Amino acid sequence: MIDRDIEVIRQQFLSDQRLNSVVREPIAKSWMRSKALELASEGVAVPFLGEPDLDSILVAAADPVMANLAESLSDESISIILTSDEGVVLSRSAHRTDLRDDLDDVRLAPGFSYSEQFVGTNGIGTTLETRRPTLVVGSEHYSDALCGLSCAGAPIFHPVSGALLGVLDMTGRAGLGGQVMLSLAQSTAREIEANLLQRSGEGHVAAFNAYLTVRRRNPSAMFIVLGDDMSLMNEKLRRTLDSADQTALIEFAIDGAQSRANSLVETLPSGTVVRLTRIEADGATLALFVVRLVDDAVAAGGARRALTSSLPGLVGRSTAWRLACDELRQALRSGVWVAVVGEPGSGRCSSLRAAVEAHRSGFVRVFDAADLAVGSATLRELEDEVTADGFSVIVRDVDQLSDEVLAAIADLFTGVADNGWVGVTMRTHSDTVFDTLIVPHFARTVMIPALRHRISDLQELVPQLLRELTAGGSLDVTPAAMRILSAYGWPGNVAQLRNVLRKVIRQRRTGTIDVDGLPPEVRSFGRKTLSAIESMERDAIVEALKANSFDKGKAAADLGMSRATIYRRIKRFSIAV
């Protein structure tokens, strides 16, 4: 089919979504995905996601291969492009000035993302979406701006872990190369994978061989593999657990790897109980765990406990959030005192207060740890509250109190459990004094998940916060802006989200928020949702920077890393400093 025929079919599809059977299946499916994302076909809105990370093993393995290929194609109007698994262009080689200008015009340049969710059908994004080599010629592109190009993308997989690392793309004028260009892209990708294998080292290979051995013995087994910067699950494990359970499982596995535990049993947010058994392999540099269900009802296919909705006045449908809400309901119904644990800004006090107001009569009094000191008026007010019948009290950030105040509060709590109810909020860490004086008073501990661990709740949380901040005003968020918000890590949790939206409404109180209306602090971050290991490392760096007034040298010293390393990590995680 000549290009003007496919252009007619593309325009027909864009107007009424009718598909002609002559359109190749991978292209037709990509057009449908692009349409569902509500992408504009006129022009191309390619986001810049920050300077690319050039220190990765992918770039190191690809550079010599791409240099050799670029030399052999120096007289051709073809560019060679390497992208990350997010579709972010890492490097680009194009000898012809006119071709470089054309690529710059459509932002096919380092730091820009050609993910299908931003650009629609193209050789990079569609390859990442399908994980298969993809040729997109001329008007097969979804965007008008790309119809003058042909793109051939080949996926690059890690030869040991099987993880998709990125794409090797070759782009030229429409009608140039075709299947030959695709074949060349595939062979180049295989060369890069061969270099990756050499760089993987014996430790990775030893872990991979251990995985193959266990899999041969038990083909139906479920596995999780942890490395310095990755976490991998096999397909059966991903199908068995939902996203919240997968996130929790990764964190439990990290704890097991760090403690060198051979076996551990943990309860996931859904209530499923799993056993993780570490597989030892001589020389392995990756931690390999076999995962087994030990909850009989779930293992036998029985129904999990049905979760109810969010607490009154709060929103969210993620499993982790609804499980926390259910645990708070159960604790309040039974009348036991509750300690709510979580990161600052995650909604610990608001969720605790919502549960109290829904299940206890009377007024609930909230005390802030910052206001409590020995001999203070606020501490005397707390004493008055807990000596009255039927009291309901919340103490925020109780773990931030001094040992002297903790001892005074512990004395107040002693012997009054039958007269009323107390709830406290705290961070995930504590100390010996706190554990001895305060923890014994609370029969139930409920964990509130960090916002990054329930990112799907943004779909309801953002509209609710906008209604609150605009006093019921009409302010919507475009799908593209919501994707940027969903990609951000939110180290400050819901409190940070509220502050970001407060900045937005200073500029616009009605209408629609698009990507250009978002503050730089969220737009500067890549869209990739970080792994649990990456999130922990990023959070530690952010906290160290805050504690040292953003002095990178002092923060690096606190973390036990060099200045060069912390600069690379700040760039890699796009930390705004």
| 308: in domain | no
**134 and 280 belong to one structural domain:** no
pLDDT at 396 > cutoff 90: yes
Boundary (domain end) residue, out of 484, 503, 523 = 523
111 and 139 inside one domain = yes
CATH number for the domain that contains residue 508: 1.10.8.60
Please indicate, yes or no, whether residues 266 and 161 belong to a single structural domain of this protein. Answer: no
Residue 556, domain extent: 532-572
**Does 170 have pLDDT greater than 90?**
yes
Name, in order, each residue with C-beta under 8 angstroms of 355's C-beta and a sequence gap of 6 or more: 311, 325, 328, 329, 331, 332
> What is the per-residue pLDDT across 186-214, written as a single tens digit (0 to 9) for each?
999 999 988 887 776 655 666 666 666 66
What is d(CA 91, CA 80) in angstroms, rounded to the nearest whole number?
8
207 found inside a domain: no
The last residue of one of the domains, among 423, 447, 471, is 447
pLDDT in tens, 474-526: 888 998 888 888 878 888 999 999 999 999 998 888 889 987 788 866 755 54
> Does residue 248 share a domain with residue 294?
yes
Whether 309 maps to a domain, the answer reads: no
Domain identity same for 16 and 89: yes
Strand segments (E) across 336-419 = 338-341, 365-368, 391-396
At 536 the pLDDT is: 67
Task: Mark which of 447, 462, 486 sits at the end of a domain.
Answer: 447
Burial class (CB in 10 A: 0-12, 13-18, 19+), 282: exposed
Same domain, 424 and 455: no
User: Is 88 within a domain?
Assistant: yes
Whether residue 547 sits in one domain with residue 511? no
- Dump pLDDT digits (tens) for 93-102: 988 888 888 8
Q: What is the mean pLDDT of residues 6-11?
A: 88
45 & 142 share domain: yes
Q: Given a cut of 50, is residue 280 above it in pLDDT?
A: yes
Q: Residue 299, class by beta-carbon neighbours within 10 Å (0-12 exposed, 13-18 middle, 19+ buried)?
A: middle
Give 401-431 pLDDT, tens digit per residue: 888 999 999 899 988 888 899 999 988 655 6
Give the SS3 label for residue 420.
strand
Asked if residue 538 lies in contact with residue 573, where contact means CB atoms within 8 angstroms, the answer is yes
For residue 29, what is the domain's CATH number?
Answer: 3.30.450.40
Is 46 in the same domain as 97?
Answer: yes
- How many helical (H) and strand (E) elements, i.e. helices and strands, does the chain have? 22, 17
Residue 103 one-letter amino acid: L
Residue 191 domain flag? yes
Do residues 181 and 259 both lie within one domain?
no
- Indicate which CATH number applies to the domain containing 283: 3.30.450
Does one domain contain both 187 and 254?
A: no
74 and 176 housed in the same domain:
yes
CB crowding 8-29: b at 16 or more within 10 Å, else e: ebbeebeeeeeeeeebeebbbb
List the CATH number of the domain containing 568. 1.10.10
pLDDT of amino acid 120 = 92
Answer yes or no: is 470 within a domain: yes
**Structural domain contains residue 204:** no
User: What pLDDT sits at residue 302?
Assistant: 39
Q: What CATH number does residue 420 fall under?
A: 3.40.50.300
Longest CA pairwise span in the chain (Å) = 88
Q: Is residue 286 a part of any domain in this protein?
A: yes
Domain count, the chain: 5
Report d(CA 160, CA 205) in Å as an integer. Answer: 7
